[in-house]
Amino acid sequence: MIRRASRRSAVLPFGAALLLASLPIPTSAHVERGPATGFLTGLEHPWSGLDHVLAMIAVGLWGAQLGNPAIWILPVTFPMVMAMGAMMGLLGISLPGVELGIATSAILLGAMVAGEVRPRLAVAAVLVGFFAIFHGHAHGTELPPGQNGMLYSMGFVIATGCLHAVGIAIGLLHRWPAGRLVMRGTGAVIALMGVRFLWRALT
Amino acid sequence: MGSLAGAALLVGHPATAAAHLVTTGMGPVYDGAGHLFLTPEDLVPVLAIALFAGLRGPAAGRRAMFLLPPAWLMGGLIGSVLRVGAPASTPALSFLVLGGLVASDLRAPVAWVSGLAVIVGLVHGFGNGAVLRDGAGTLGLIGIVAMSYVVVTLVAASVVSLRVPWMRIAVRVAGSWIAAVGLLMFGWALR
């Protein structure tokens, strides 16, 4: 009886994840129009693509699952490597399969959270850093010439950091057994959404 | 190799002093004080060196507090005489180096922190000097220097007093953001 109840409680979040992932959403990823006018535009930009938002939250969630020091090393790694990717994009250095890389990042990072996978810290940091290049490159390529690149960059980096913080804040649930299930369910949602992004990138 | 050299030349080239101070209506000292708070290119490096000095302890914090403002004044006076702005890449380089140091929480000796504070003060003060000559003058420079002293003192002291480990981690995360902005600024400069 108890086993059936615990199985039901494990299935529920994943069922909810499946339901959420199958809801229709507008295609909003990664084509930003308008001038880069400054701090507020930069602050707004990372929130404009759901694939980026979900991957950032997954980084925070995974860091929270892995605990100290990953909880801060992963969010520190991401913006710095992402900035390198953005710099590549700004300089016009091409990177093949950017959209595929971004979609795959949502799948893999979501799967890591869903499976509560615990690799060595270096492996986790390299995985997060690898995908950060794709996210940074996409944003660097699409940043239009603006009035103040520095203010735009500050807004952009702070917004990305805040997305990680959202993931880490959700990760506080990890203290409780039910919270762990919710986190794993959230990871499953992110992975499923990643599959959708991948499908959209391929078709 | 040629393009890299060209890029290095571009970012290292001294800028012409074309900026102007914000006018507060309260006189040149306050114009200078307002300048620091309204110019992230100067404010963020001051914050970053204060964060780094704070992470390195009270001795480093005290050194930064007493060395950065006079170095800034010295740099400003030299800049106002020479009337040449600092290289355009100065803020990006400051963001990258200082942010990286804060993020890595490098166990640097106090002498290093002192040296960095002097370099940051001289370079950024130099950039201010040429601008101030046509505006608020030396009084404006004094306003900037006074505010830099206030900012370094308050921020370094706050970081030194942090006892909860995650607060120090938050400081390091802020450092990584500053370094990331520095990298992006290089990208914008070279675009």
| DSSP codes joined into one string, B53-114 | HHHT-HHHHHHHHHHHHHHHHHHHHHHHHH--PPBTTHHHHHHHHHHHHHHHT----HHHHH
Per-residue pLDDT reduced to its tens digit, A150-177: 888 888 888 888 888 888 888 888 778 8
pLDDT confidence band for B50 (50 / 70 / 90): very high
For chain B positions 25-54, those within 8 Å of chain A (CB to CB) are 40-41
The residues, ordered by sequence, that sit 6+ positions from B179 with a Cβ below 8 Å of its Cβ are A80, A83, B95, B96, B98, B99, B100, B102, B103
Q: How far is B142 from chain A (nearest CA, A)?
A: 26
Sign of CA dihedral B158, B67, B37, A160: negative
Residues of chain B in contact with residue A141, where contact means CB-CB under 8 angstroms, are none
Q: Do B187 and A90 touch (CB under 8 A)?
A: yes
Q: How far apart are the first and last CA of chain B?
A: 17
Mean pLDDT over residues B29-56, rounded?
A: 89
ipTM above 0.85, yes or no: no
Contact residues on chain B for A151, CB-CB shorter than 8 A: 40
Average pLDDT for residues A106-134, to the nearest whole number?
Answer: 89
User: What's the angle, vertex CA A147, arms to CA A146 and CA A149, rounded to 5?
Assistant: 65
SS3 content of chain A, % helix, strand, coil (to 5): 80, 0, 20
DSSP SS3 for B14: strand
Q: What angle do CA B85, A151, A109 make, to 5 degrees?
A: 130
- For A53, A128, A129, A180, B144, the CA distances from A162, given in Å and listed in that order, are 10, 17, 18, 22, 31
A2-48 pLDDT tens trace:
555 555 555 655 666 555 555 554 444 444 444 446 788 888 877 87
If you search the block for the tokens 């203290």, which residue do you land on? A175
Q: Give the pLDDT score at A33.
A: 46
**What angle is formed at CA B39 by the lines to CA B152 and CA B34, rounded to 5 degrees?**
75
- Does residue B167 belong to the interface with chain A, where contact is any CB pair within 8 Å? no
Alpha helices in A148-176 (DSSP H): 149-170
Between chains, do B184 and A153 touch, taking CB under 8 Å as contact?
Answer: yes
> Helix axis angle, A98-114 relative to A177-202, nearest 10°?
160
Q: Calculate helix-pair angle for A2-21, A177-202, nearest 10 degrees.
A: 30
B54 confidence band (pLDDT: 50, 70, 90): very high
Helix B40-55 to helix B58-82 angle (10° resolution) is 150
**Cβ-contact A117, B58 below 8 angstroms:** no
Whether cis (ω within 30° of 0) applies to the bond prior to A177 is: no
